[in-house]
A and B are shown apart, each in its own frame.
Chain A
Amino acid sequence: MAFATQDVKYSFVVEDEGGTTSQLEITVPTSVLTNPADMTEFGDEMAALLDALSDGKIEKYNIIIGRYDSAATAASAGSNVEKKGRLLISNALNKTVRLAIPSVLDAVLVASGSGKAKDINTAHADVIALIDALISGLTMASTNVIAPTDSNGQDLIAVPEAYQQHTRSHYTGRRRKG
């Protein structure tokens, strides 16, 4: 597996009087990543230029790094993204954050005590590795340790529940590169 950055996009969100939003995307060279300060300065300046041509409101924009693996392993026969591995994760404020792994492997599932949906086997080495990364973080080449958070920046503390769950996948569109 080798992901590589193939595009850097800016998505400017324009809102009109009725509260409807639309987005304008601008692609820039990946070389912009070499100087992160350039990335925000370019976005701020471009937003000002676009603002002068629109009577809508430009209140936010996103900088999107798209990374692709051209040699990714193809989906296995029988894979199904609606079959999810659901992790319930408690954060530092003891609130629950949900994470769902699409098309979870049968190999990491075990029969549940309730006799209904299967549980995720939290003693499986690959499950342990993921939970450890979510809670304790991953060590970077710099030796910094980075751990994910919830959307409010709160640390993730523990995974009290993990089980299989079928949920409809609402996401139908997909942008492919090449």
Chain B
Amino acid sequence: MNAFFHLCRWEVRRLLRTGTARATLGLLFVAGLLALGAADREIDRQAREIASLDAHYASALAVVAEHHAPRAHAGEIAYYTFFPTDHPAPALAKLSLGLRDLVPAAVWVRLLGLEGQLYSSAIGNPAIQALGPFDLAFVVCALAPLALLLLAHDLLSRDRDHGLLPLALTQAASLPRLFAARLLVRAAAVAAVCVALWVIALLWLALPFNLAALAWLADALLHLACWTAIAGLIAATCRSLSASLATAGTVWVGAVVVLPALLNLAVATAYPVPEGLALTVRQRQETHAGWDRPKPETFAQFFRTHPEWRDTAPVTVRFAWKWYYAMHQVGDTSVAADAATYRAHLLARAAATERLAWFVPPVAAQLLLSRRAGTDLESHLAYLDRIRAYHAQLQDHFLPLVFAEREITSADYAAFPRFRPVFSPASAGTALERLPLLLATFALAALSLRAVRRVTP
């Protein structure tokens, strides 16, 4: 063991003397810092947006109060009021943005039909969104494997090309031992850069040091372990320097660029989700068709979901707020099944992605890292559910006032229900989630061990 330790120390010194290795590790580090900065700015921007909600809400309420002084029908006040909801980014979002730059961090809701309000997007530059976020998760999933391959693909082929392999072997007891020392040293160097970036993130961005943060790092390192096995396999099987370089390049482009894009195409083709558009259009049509529908018909449908108002007297005037809100609720109810289908299809798509990720380590890692950070699709869907619950709460508050034809003054505004954001609890995840990456790592490690045993100088 002591001999192996000395061998490793010797390899570390050798590695750090080469310009290419220093440049590779340095560039990886700089890319990581830039990524941290980019993600930090994006999340801070969202935090500022969320922080401004209260002020916007207060000033909007002041305008409503001014226009409806001294008192006005509760239905009218509700019509003109926008209620803020927000989805604060979990702390680790600064490590992996996930979907955060696509989906809104805050949504205003009104007492009107909800389905048409849920699918608004964050204002963003489409050309920029299409590139995908630049965050530490991207560095870990895409760039770190490349750095590792660049450092480790030529473990043996370089010395062999130069005819130095026999000489190098005199330093070590055996070829597998030399191979292991060299591979582990290079993997450790890349891992050290990643750990350093993680530590910097924790200190610089003041992220909480907890189990989830540790689990994030563990997942990132697991992904690197998988790539260490891949690098080992390439180094052990390719005889010449140009062959190992070409193979490493092909494997990286395949795993990071081509396969994920190909899988994306396959998932989108196999699980089309046309409901998103159809749902929005239908909800709008259903709600507006309410204007032409006889009022008793609208109420009959409304009472089916809200039996507590069954005893309301028929509305005979041309317009009444209770009829207006009943009409919107009927619009929502009529697309409820569509909304459920849409959601089910989104989840089916996510599940299919997860299954396919078994075969592509960077995708598996991307999934794990965005789940650790709570920036995945599930977390956004959970936010939509909270908005639904809040909308129901608003109805519970306003409908009794509206059906009682109550007028309210600005003094009553303070009693409006407010949305309470939920900070998604940091979770360390389960062993099962990591099974694909673990299995891939073990399988590849076994293959490369077998290959190393067969290598001849």
Say whether A and B bind each other: no
- A residues near B (Cβ < 8 Å) are none
- B residues near A (Cβ < 8 Å) are none
